[in-house]
Amino acid sequence: MRHFGYLSASDTGALFEAPPEPFGRGSGTGLLSVALGATLYMPASRPALAADVTKQAAAGVTSVVACLEDSIADDRLAEAEDNLVAALTELHGDAAAELPLLFVRVRAPEQIPALVARLGRAAAVLDGFVLPKFTAERGADFLRAVDAADAARTGAPPLLVMPVIESGAVLYAESRVAELTRLRDLLHRERRRVLAVRLGATDLCALYGLRRSPDLSIYDVKVVSDLIADVVNVLGRADGSGFTVTGPVWEYYGGHDGGPERIFKPQLRQSPFLEHDEPDLRGQLVSRAIDGLIREVTLDRANGLTGKTVIHPSHVGVVHALSVVPYEEHRDAADVLGSGASGGVLASVHRNKMNEVRPHAAWARQTMLRAQVFGVAADGVSFVDLLAASLRR
């Protein structure tokens, strides 16, 4: 797999100082968790699920979750499971298919070994499971179920997991610290198979009867944004003990009626679009509430989150364009890492900021991982250019 692999050689050469490098299932969880990018969720009941997976992979999606949980009505669960098994079997039988990383979000632990048993040899296409409403108590059952499923798969790499933080035990103030501490201990024991920790913003908001509008980001919903800070604090540390924590879903996308009424002015500046000869692109983004997604992805990174859950294909290119490392940022990271362990402070190559070697070292290492899988933009190339090229394909 390679991000932006759908671009022509000429577009790649014009847009990137260093193009994205290929990655695969053997790349290791450290790199692979960064490479997830925009993880596209699909209901497992989709009639053409196998075709949809291959179509989205060709369009640039590198990680897909087939959902058997909240997106499936209770009385259609068995039907969705049948559909999922048929789709994964079809994908396994298509030798020419270029597949993304494939995960299944289950409802209950017992579904995991049952699905793997039903799939038989076709379970080889499955990279792992998304574990919903993950708590220290319920999580242990999920992880034991993954162990059981692994034991039934012969010759396949270990299944990976992405637990979802979305329960009252972790949101409520009186139990949060104790629950996060227990979660950290549990996840450390299973570190080899934990790819990333995901945040279930919709379920967290539901505990208080809340839903954010397209004018607001999840960081404006304080009861949830406070939790995000604490999850990163306990589970996302950059000292080698942390995990990749991914950004929560942005649930708005453009429809025929333009979507919900907007009250506030968009915060997407006009000048970058004018400077890069894309004056109409800004209007298209605002009309589909994509300006809110752009702002939230930017806030995600500022708050220690990497990648994002998405529920619409139109969001994928936006998340990936924002994941490319800007030329100046890459130069700063290279300077920091090239200065050795002696410390000190450096002026940036553009003489507009200071780079402190020791405090910025962890940031620089993370930036280089992102540069490896998403590439480094050419000097003068912005998010606007990258997104416009993605939309033109």
13 belongs to a structural domain? no
| pLDDT classification of 262: cutoffs 50, 70, 90 | confident
311 & 329 share domain: no
End-to-end CA distance of the chain: 18
Cα–Cα separations (whole angstroms), residue 88 to 76, 94, 125: 18, 10, 7
207 & 280 share domain: yes
Of the residues 277, 304, 323, the one at which a domain ends: 323
Could you read off the pLDDT of 294-342 as tens digits, one per residue?
999 999 999 999 999 999 999 999 999 999 999 999 999 999 998 876 6
Rounded mean pLDDT, 264-277:
88
241 & 269 share domain: yes
Could you read off the pLDDT of 131-163 as tens digits, one per residue?
999 999 999 999 999 999 999 887 788 999 999
Cα–Cα separations (whole angstroms), residue 108 to 49, 58, 141, 168, 237: 22, 31, 9, 18, 29
273 belongs to a structural domain? yes
The predicted pLDDT at position 259 comes to: 60
290 & 208 share domain: yes
9 belongs to a structural domain? no
What are the beta bridge partners of residue 65?
41, 103
307 & 333 share domain: no
Structural domain range at position 375: 325-393
How many H-runs (helices) and E-runs (strands) does the chain carry?
A: 17, 11
The predicted pLDDT at position 173 comes to: 96
Of the residues 276, 301, 323, the one at which a domain ends: 323
Rounded mean pLDDT of the chain? 93
334 & 319 share domain: no
336 & 187 share domain: no
Could you read off the pLDDT of 92-105 as tens digits, one per residue?
999 878 899 999 99
130 & 47 share domain: yes
65 & 81 share domain: yes
Could you read off the pLDDT of 190-220 as tens digits, one per residue?
999 999 999 999 999 999 999 999 999 999 9
Count of domains observed in the chain:
2
The predicted pLDDT at position 385 comes to: 95
Kindly write down the DSSP assignment for every residue of 227-259, as one continuous string. Answer: HHHHHHHHH--TTTT---BPBPPP-----TT-S
Quote the percentage of the chain above a pLDDT of 70.
98
| pLDDT classification of 257: cutoffs 50, 70, 90 | low
